[in-house]
């Protein structure tokens, strides 16, 4: 066979038996089309089936209420005045500015906060829909969208509380504060520790060079905002949304998996991270944040993205399972062997190396969540739990499997993360 001859079938993915056949699948209907529950090779109804709107609402009602409550709390804290009363120096006795890093001019934001939030949601959501050209799984796009909202909302609430209670000075603080030190509060003139208050202003600290916001004469809203610099809300939203998208694309394209992917897939998964870094970096150009504000926002957003992704998908890094949406009504069982019980074996974008078929979906041997046992969410059993059923796994050993009946058979509306 010539070196560059095209192979009609992919290489076997089961390295233990070097066998594998490929099923011919019928063309699937559109993601949002009404369709009957899909059947698995065992003849059982697949979990990867679209529910009715009422069933979906029933399954997601608690999440919707939680998101609304957390959104209201976050907005309330965001609109509140900063909690701390900070002291800050302005000038030394000779008139030199103590902290010139807080004396930058106020400039327009390159990317407003509302634009950063919209980009962090709609760009990943658009990618989720594009992936459905091949995945065509309602639960995949549902879990991806819900998980993205988990990450964005939890990260936003987390960061606004830190802003409110801790905050810090923005690089343009002195420009918007417009401090005016009254004549009776000469800097460095009162060395005996006596309070130098005059008309509500206070000079305190060593040599009385420290003041509070009472000496500010600028716009109140701008002053409030300039006292809440850490962490960066732009960066928090960008990293929460785009890191989640990075994890999603890695799972759907199988970049770090059991075959050699094309380079464009590497570029595709890191493009969202580049976008997040650019959004955060722009804040140093328009002098809206200090570098440590941006770093803190990136840490918070990344943490929430990883947490949210693992809540809605079966794994983060384990390439065998990280494309499979988790369900609420039935647990996912990890182990070796092909996917044949949940119907999510083809809920991916790539079709290389056998991925998208029952045989190529997942095999043991990779580090991750499991070593052996049946792979796949257990299909409903008409007689309830069945014990003592044995099978030979991919390594030739005999293991037992317990068929689990979901709480309330045929309740597809509960198939929600």
Write the DSSP string, 132-154: TTTS--HHHHHHHHHHHHHHHHH
Candidates 27, 41, 51, 37; CA nearest to 134 is: 27
What ranges do the domains of the chain cover? Answer: 83-311
In the block, tokens 């709609």 appear at 122
Cα gap 282→115, rounded to integer Å = 13
Say what angle helices 113-131 and 138-165 make with each other, to 10 degrees.
160
In this structure, what DSSP letter does residue 204 have?
B
Cα gap 69→186, rounded to integer Å = 49
Cα gap 142→71, rounded to integer Å = 20
Q: Give the pLDDT of residue 92.
A: 79
Q: Give the pLDDT of residue 255.
A: 92
In this structure, what DSSP letter does residue 50 have?
P
Q: How many residues does the chain have?
A: 417
Contacts of 284 (CB under 8 A, 6+ apart): 291, 294
Contacts of 155 (CB under 8 A, 6+ apart): 236, 237, 239, 240, 300, 301, 303, 304, 305
Residue 139 exposed, middle or buried by CB count within 10 Å (0-12, 13-18, 19+): buried
Cα gap 123→234, rounded to integer Å = 15
In this structure, what DSSP letter does residue 226 have?
H
Which residues of the chain have a pLDDT value below 50? 1, 7-8, 10-26, 31-36, 43-44, 190-200, 369-417
CB 226 within 8 A of CB 170: yes
In this structure, what DSSP letter does residue 213 have?
G
The H or E element containing residue 230 is none
Where do the H-state alpha helices sit in 173-290? 173-177, 220-226, 233-253, 263-285
Q: Give the pLDDT of residue 65.
A: 94
- Measure the N-to-C terminal CA separation of the chain; round to a whole number of Å: 48
Which two tokens mark 407?
Answer: 């709480």
- Look at the pTM and tell me if it is higher than 0.95: no
For residue 45, what are the β-bridge partners? 39
Cα gap 413→187, rounded to integer Å = 69
For residue 313, what are the β-bridge partners? 325
């Amino acid at each position: 066979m010539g070196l560059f001859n095209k192979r009609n079938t992919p290489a076997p993915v089961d390295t233990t038996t070097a066998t594998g056949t490929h099923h011919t699948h019928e063309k699937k209907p559109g993601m949002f089309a009404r369709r009957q529950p899909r059947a698995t090779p065992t003849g059982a109804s697949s979990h990867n089936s679209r529910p009715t709107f009422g069933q979906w609402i029933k399954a997601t009602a608690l999440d919707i209420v939680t998101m609304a409550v957390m959104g209201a709390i976050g907005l309330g804290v965001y609109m509140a005045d900063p909690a701390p009363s900070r002291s800050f120096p302005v000038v030394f006795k000779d008139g030199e500015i103590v902290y010139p890093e807080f004396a930058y001019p106020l400039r327009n934001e390159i990317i407003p906060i509302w634009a950063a939030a919209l980009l962090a949601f709609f760009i990943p959501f658009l990618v989720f829909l594009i992936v459905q050209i091949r995945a065509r799984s309602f639960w995949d796009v549902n879990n991806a969208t819900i998980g993205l909202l988990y990450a964005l909302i939890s990260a936003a609430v987390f960061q606004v509380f830190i802003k409110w209670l801790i905050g810090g000075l923005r690089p343009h603080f002195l420009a918007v504060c417009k401090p005016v030190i009254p004549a009776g509060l000469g800097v460095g003139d009162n060395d005996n520790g006596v309070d130098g208050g005059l008309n509500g202003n206070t000079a305190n600290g060593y040599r009385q060079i420290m003041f509070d916001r009472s000496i500010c004469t600028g716009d109140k809203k701008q002053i409030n905002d300039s006292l809440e610099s850490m962490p960066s809300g732009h960066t928090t939203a960008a990293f929460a949304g785009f890191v989640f998208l990075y994890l999603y694309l890695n799972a759907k394209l199988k970049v770090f998996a059991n075959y050699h992917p094309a380079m464009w897939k590497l570029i595709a998964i890191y493009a969202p991270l580049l976008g997040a870094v650019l959004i955060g970096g722009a804040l140093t150009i328009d002098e809206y944040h200090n570098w440590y504000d941006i770093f803190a926002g990136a840490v918070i957003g990344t943490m929430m993205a990883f947490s949210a992704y693992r809540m809605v998908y079966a794994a983060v890094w384990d390439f065998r399972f990280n494309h499979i949406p988790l369900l609420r009504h039935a647990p996912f069982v990890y182990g070796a062997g092909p996917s044949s019980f949940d119907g999510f074996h083809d809920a991916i974008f790539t079709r290389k190396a056998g991925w998208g078929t029952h045989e190529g979906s997942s095999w043991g041997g990779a580090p991750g969540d499991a070593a052996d046992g049946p792979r796949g969410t257990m299909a409903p059993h008409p007689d309830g739990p069945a014990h003592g059923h044995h099978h030979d796994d991919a390594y030739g050993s005999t293991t037992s499997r317990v068929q689990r009946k979901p709480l309330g058979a045929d309740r597809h509306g509960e198939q929600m993360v």
